[in-house]
Amino acid sequence: MPDKPATQEYPAIWLQGAGCSGCSVSVLNAVSPTIGQLILDEAAPGKHVSLRFHPTVMAATGRLAVEIMLGTEAGDEPFLLVLEGSVPTTISEIAGSGPDGKELDFTEHFVELAKKAMAVVAIGDCAAFGGIPASGPNLAGCKSAREVMAEHGIATPLINLGGCPPHPDWFMQTVATVLLYGLPDASALDADLRPKWFYGALIHEHCPRRPDFDAGKFATAFGEPGCMYELGCKGPYTYADCPRRKFNGGVNWCIDAGSPCHGCAETEFPNLGPGLYRKIDAGSLPRIELTADGTLAPVVPGPYGSTEGA
Ligand code: SF4
Ligand code: SF4
């Protein structure tokens, strides 16, 4: 019987900046593949992710854990850098102790790792777009991975996975795709560097309450049937596949559970439009318009309040 080909190992370093660890919890609850399949088995045939550093789940602590991370950073193996939480640029000395006993500055360390990584995956809205920590008053100077990388001239490929938290499939399938086929080219990502295969359509396009929206049947209180536009639903502005994918192994998702979409996968979250539970501007809703040549064409909003990206 021929020998099984050797499994290729891909080291990963997972940093946690300013965030709540909810993205880690989401990924730990992944259904297919499971987190065990990702880090103990093969994430894709013949490909194994060696999670060398993760503050929540690693067994090692303190200086030993940091030394493993620094060893990966200094080695020759290409590694994947995952950032959870935004980068707190005005607070230093929070990344743990280095081998010399000195505390590591989080921003400096993120920058050094991002320079050497094969790719950076910014998981969750805080890492991808600043999210809640950067929403104000932002005393910690929280910034997204993209902002910090741009300020330091870092050209390492970056993939943003918006969501608060993101669906675990968005992370698992992104990692598996990178291992199997390499880094996605620019055409596979949208203008905010999100994979189009997860963030390619508006929530509003596939919402089961869309017939109510089109018929003008709106809920005026929580628990009522009807479209939740009047209750502040951000589905008309939010690009994500939640209606089709659903959470917890396809069991349910926000709107089926009776909550408006908060736009948690979007760049402006949590300040999308007038705020949570506040109705968005009717003038910016998706609509059909008469074009100059006399044909009807759909106008779909891109970033809040504009038609960019339509
Ligand atoms: S506004 Fe919200 S609840 Fe109404 S159809 Fe659009 S996504 Fe669904
Ligand atoms: S439906 Fe909206 S609020 Fe809910 S997870 Fe999806 S993007 Fe976030």
Band of pLDDT at residue 121, cut at 50, 70 and 90: very high
pLDDT band of residue 41 (cuts 50, 70, 90) is confident
Do 8 and 48 contact (CB within 8 A), yes or no?
yes
Distance 75 CA to ligand 2 centre (A): 39
Q: Are 154 and 118 in contact (CB under 8 A)?
A: no
Instruction: Note the residue count of the chain.
Output: 310
For the ranges 26-30, 291-295, 298-302, the maximum mean pLDDT occurs at 26-30
Burial of 307 (C-beta count, 10 Å sphere; 0-12/13-18/19+) = middle
CA of 110 to the centre of ligand 2 (A): 28
Q: Exposed, middle or buried, 267 (CB in 10 Å: 0-12/13-18/19+)? A: buried
- pTM (predicted TM-score): 0.90
Mean confidence (pLDDT) of the chain: 88
The mean pLDDT value for 133-139 works out to 93
pLDDT at residue number 306: 45
pLDDT of residue 251: 94
Determine if ligand 1 sits within 6 Å of the CB of residue 261: yes
> Helix (H, G, I), strand (E, B), or coil: what is residue 300?
coil
Measured CA to CA, the distance from residue 105 to residue 75 in angstroms comes to: 21
- Tokens 């596979």 locate to 188
Task: Please choose, from the candidates 135, 143, 145, 161, the residue with its C-alpha nearest in 3D space to the C-alpha of residue 271.
Answer: 135
Ligand 2 pocket list (CB less than 6 A): 163, 203, 238, 240, 242, 253-254, 261-265
How much of the chain, in percent, has pLDDT values that exceed 70?
A: 88
Domains of the chain: 8-198 (3.40.50.700), 201-310 (4.10.480.10)
Instruction: Locate the ligand 1 atom nearest the alpha carbon of residue 234 and give its number.
Output: 2
Tell me if 254 CB under 6 Å of ligand 1: no
HEC per residue, 200-242: CCEHHHHCCCHHHHHHCCECCCCCCCCECHHHCCCHHHCECCH
Instruction: Please enumerate in sequence order all residues whose Cβ is within 8 A of that of 275, keeping only pairs 6 or more positions apart, or say none.
Output: 232
Q: Which ligand is nearest to the CA of 260?
A: 1
